[in-house]
Amino acid sequence: MHDFPDKNQSKGLPYGVYDVQENTGWVSVGTDHDTAEFAVETIRRWWLSMGRKIYSDAKGLLIMADGGGSNGSRNRLWKSELQKLADELGLAITICHFPPGTSKWNKIEHRMFSCISQNWSGRPLTDHQTVVDLIGNTTIKSGLKIECELDKNHYPTGKKISDEQFHELSIKKNSFHGEWNYTIKPNKK
C-alpha cells in the first residue's frame, strides 16, 4: 500500500498475478481497499487481458497464494468471489496457499514485486499514474514483462458470507492439507 503526499488522493494498492511459465505479470493498482473482491478482480483482469490468449485451451487455473490477507485461506469472501470467477470463466480454479509464515517463498515476491521495488527505488510516487507507469515499465534481463492498470472500483470492507452461502460453493478440498489446497469448480447452470 502507498499513501500519496496529496491527502486528497486515495491510496495506491498494488495487487498482482505472476505467470511463472511465461515470466510475465499483471498488476492492478487499486484506489479503495485491499479486499477479496479486489484480489479476484485482479485475477479476472489478468485472465481477460493476458491469460486467455496464452492458455486458450485451459480447463482450469492454478493459483499459488499467500495464506492470509485478502486472499487468505480462511477468507470466505475470497472463496465466494473465486466461485463467481469460476462460474463466469467456466474454469476450475485450484488454489494452493502457502502455509502461515512461508509467503516469503512465493515466487511473485522474488521474481516480480522485488523488481518493481528496484525499478521505482528513489523515485517519488506522487500519484496513481506514476505508480502505474513505473510498474508497467519494469523489465529485467531475464525478460520479465509486466502490464499494469489502475482499478478505480469501489471495494467495501466488512462483507460477510453466511454459512448458507458458503455451503453453496463448489469447493473440493485436497487430501493434503485441504484447508490450504482446494479446487473450486464452476457451478452448472
Average pLDDT of the residues of the chain: 90
pLDDT band at 3 (very low <50, low <70, confident <90, very high): low
Q: Does a structural domain hold residue 1?
A: no
Is there a domain that residue 173 lies in? Answer: yes
> Cell numbers at residue 170, please?
463448489
% helix / strand / coil in the chain, to the nearest 5?
35, 25, 40
**3 domain-assigned:** no
CA distance 100 to 115: 24
Asked whether residue 82 is assigned to any structural domain, the reply reads yes
Number of domains the chain is built from: 1
Q: What percent of the chain has pLDDT over 70?
A: 94
Condensed to tens digits (0 to 9), the pLDDT of residues 97-136 reads 988 777 677 777 878 888 888 888 888 888 899 999 999 9
The domain of 105 spans: 13-184
Domain-located, residue 7: no
pTM over 0.85: yes
Q: What's the CA dihedral at 76, 82, 87, 90 to 10 degrees?
A: -150
Please give the pLDDT value at position 18.
93
pLDDT tens, position by position, 36-80: 999 999 999 999 999 999 999 999 999 999 888 899 999 999 999
The amino acid occupying position 82 is L
